[in-house]
Amino acid sequence: MYQDEERKVELPAIEQLQSLGWDYVHGSLLSPDASDERDFFKDVVLTKCLTDAVKRINPWINDINLRTVVRELTHLKVATLMEANQSVWETLVRYQSVIQDLGKGTKGQTVKVIDFESPDNNEYLCTNQFKIEGVNQNIIPDIVLFVNGLPFAVIECKSPYITNPMEAGIDQLMRYANRRQPHEDEGAEKLFHYNQLMISTHRDKARVGTISSRMEHYLEWKDPYPLAVNEVSENANSQEVLIAGLFNKQNFLDLIQNFTVFEPMDGKVIKKIARYQQYRAV
């Protein structure tokens, strides 16, 4: 069944992401002993990529402030998964401020981690079999998508031939994010501090949710805008349409910046993204 999962679901997804301009590196090449991006398997941010991106987008920033920005993003001072996720999102869309003199006196300067205005000024990377050390066990998500070194999306792929593949994929995502039994630390929650989208797919059906979505809240994304469905591929399947619509660079950043909300509900905060109908309507 793993061969079906890899051949029919995972590899076609990676190939399509590459066609959308995402670079691809196998997860083994991002391990601590093979790359200078991570010191330990518990690290989930590609630190060199993040540092280079912040410097590229903010060429005026000095080395001290650059290190401060990167450290604040990689060492979050929060208690819960949702607090961490909301804190990261606010940093992305509302920016950070550092004190620096750019020639007109020392004052607060705005630092952008993501260039929302110029999507091509960011670095997009997808990887598979990316090993992460959790508290009690390691996890190896099928596909992780990074923007400027931050893990913004996780895609869990299942064979279309197993029983209830969609539910199995969502359950796996919830385990990875430590949302099934939080007190048991069965996942690697830190990966999801930065997460914007969680995808479960078995090719014929693909659905998207957020870190707070319950199984019934995962939904298909049926609009590959700016393409028409017949432009994605001949007889495009659900996975192809979802990837075309969500991981087009401009769409992805637009969803993060303008179509994501954190709302209080029943004494807790939930994270929502627009449905495809709402996105197209706007």
Mind listing the domains of the chain with CATH numbers? 2-34+118-281 (3.90.1570.50), 49-111 (no CATH)
pLDDT, mean of residues 23-47: 97
Burial class of residue 131 (count of CB atoms within 10 Å of its CB; 0-12, 13-18, 19+): middle
Handedness of CA 243, 246, 249, 252 (dihedral sign): negative
pLDDT, mean of residues 162-176: 97
pLDDT, mean of residues 20-44: 97
* 193-208 confidence digits (pLDDT tens): 999 999 999 999 999 9
Tokens coding 44: 């989930």
Quote the pLDDT of residue 2.
Answer: 62
| pLDDT value at 93 more than 60 | yes
Q: What rounded mean pLDDT belongs to the chain?
A: 95
Quote the pLDDT of residue 113.
Answer: 98
Burial class of residue 132 (count of CB atoms within 10 Å of its CB; 0-12, 13-18, 19+): buried
| pLDDT value at 181 more than 90 | no
Quote the pLDDT of residue 219.
Answer: 97
Between residues 100 and 120, the one the model is more confident about: 120
Q: Please list, in sequence order, all residues whose beta carbon lies within 8 angstroms of the beta carbon of residue 277, skipping any fewer than 6 positions away.
A: 223
Quote the pLDDT of residue 4.
Answer: 82
- What phi and psi, each to the nearest 5 degrees, are found at residue 61? -70, 140
What confidence tier does 3 reach under pLDDT thresholds 50, 70, 90? confident
Of 19-33, 160-174, 176-190, which range is least confident?
A: 176-190
158 and 202 Cβ atoms separated by less than 8 Å: yes
* 104-134 confidence digits (pLDDT tens): 778 788 999 999 999 999 999 999 999 999 9
| pLDDT value at 1 more than 60 | no
* 240-260 confidence digits (pLDDT tens): 999 999 999 999 999 999 999
How far is it, in rounded angstroms, from Cα 188 to Cα 176?
Answer: 6
* 62-91 confidence digits (pLDDT tens): 999 999 999 999 999 888 999 999 999 999
Half-sphere exposure of 202 (CA within 13 A, CB side): 16
242 and 227 Cβ atoms separated by less than 8 Å: no
How far from 266 is each of 7, 193, 215, 269, CA to CA, in Å? 42, 22, 18, 8
- What phi and psi, each to the nearest 5 degrees, are found at residue 194? -105, 0
* 132-164 confidence digits (pLDDT tens): 999 889 999 999 999 999 999 999 999 999 999
How far is it, in rounded angstroms, from Cα 224 to Cα 246?
Answer: 7
